[in-house]
Amino acid sequence: MISLTIYGFVRKRRDLATECACLEKRISEIDAELKAVDHILLLVGFVGNPADLRARQKHNRVFRRGELRKLILGALRDASGP
């Protein structure tokens, strides 16, 4: 029983190490692409340091477009007072 547990964790560790290596390779590819785009920006006349540009953040949307408005208006409509 213990050897199966150990084998399972060894296998999981190998899988994670493989995924980590793939991600590190992809990060280096993306870094090279960023440097190329930065160089092109400077060539076409961008003023400033391209590295200072912030990455876009993904928004965690709770409601779909217009859904919150409909809920609020519905609650106000159903309310007996202000």
Q: Give the integer Cα–Cα distance in Å for 46 and 81.
A: 56
- Residue 2 or 41, more confident: 41
Burial pattern 19-40, b for ≥16 Cβ within 10 A else e, equals eeeeeeeeeeeeeeeeeeeeee
Q: What is the pTM of this model?
A: 0.59
* Residue numbers of the domain that contains 38: 2-78
Cα 29–chain centre separation? 17
User: How many domains does one find in the chain?
Assistant: 1
Percent over 90 (pLDDT), the chain: 65
